[in-house]
Each structure stands twice: as C-alpha cells, then as structure tokens.
C-alpha cells in the first residue's frame, strides 16, 4: 500500500491499492457516504476520496491500522460525545480496523455536514 506516491485518478483506484480486507471496509465507507449524501460530487482530493456539496463535506482514507474520516472541524465538533471512544483531532477521527466500523455514525456525520453546508450554501460543489 503506497499512499504517498502520485494520487490515483479515481476513488476505485485509491481503494484498489489496499489489501483486500481493507478494500471491503473502504468500499462500505464509500457506499455509506454516497447513500448519506447522494448528490455530493466524489473526487480525489488531498490524495484521498473527497465529497463536495455546497463546499467540502468529508474525506476518508485508509491507513495501516485504521480508517480515517475527515469531516472538517464542524463535523467533529457536532459529534464530540459519540466520538469520545475514538482518537480524534480538530478535523479527523480514526476508526481502528480491529474494531467494528460505526457506519451508522458515519451516516449521521455526513448528513450533518450536508445540513451545515446547506445552511451556509452557495448552491455549488465548490472546493
């Protein structure tokens, strides 16, 4: 898994660089985000999958021991209590690969990010 080299052109290309078991998790995270924000534009940004709807929504990334979800500081702040059991920073959370991934929580975070962006909204999928 070489995530430090040139970024893949597609999300599927990004996912394909990981071991099969991690690919399954990444595909499910992707599907969860797409279901929660079906109108969001999907693209590679910051060398990982990113989603945009009225601005930046969320990114996700695979790492050796965890899946990173990057819902910006607003996404983390809105779910501080629910994220208390995970390693977080101002704009990121780590979901360990040796624990169940909280797909329902990911759905809630993405839907909240959509609402936050729509409240600020410009009607554009801007970067």
The residues spanned by each domain of the chain are 11-110
Quote the pTM value.
0.89
The average confidence (pLDDT) of the chain is 91
Q: What mean pLDDT do residues 64-79 have? A: 95
The pLDDT tens digits for 12-41 are 999 999 999 999 999 999 999 999 999 999
Q: Which CATH class is domain 11-110?
A: alpha beta
> In whole angstroms, how far apart are CA 14 and each of 17, 80, 94, 116?
6, 29, 18, 27
């Amino acid at each position: 898994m070489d995530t430090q080299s040139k970024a893949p052109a597609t999300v599927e290309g990004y996912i394909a660089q990981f071991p099969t078991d991690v690919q399954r998790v990444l595909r499910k995270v992707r599907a969860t985000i797409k279901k929660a924000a079906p109108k969001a534009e999907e693209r590679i940004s910051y060398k990982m999958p990113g989603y945009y709807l009225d601005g930046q929504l969320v990114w996700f990334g695979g790492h050796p021991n965890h899946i990173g979800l990057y819902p910006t500081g607003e996404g983390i702040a809105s779910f501080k209590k629910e994220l208390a059991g995970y390693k977080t920073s101002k704009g990121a959370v780590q979901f360990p690969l040796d624990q169940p991934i909280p797909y329902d929580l990911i759905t809630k975070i993405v839907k909240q990010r959509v609402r936050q962006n729509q409240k600020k909204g410009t009607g554009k999928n801007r970067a």
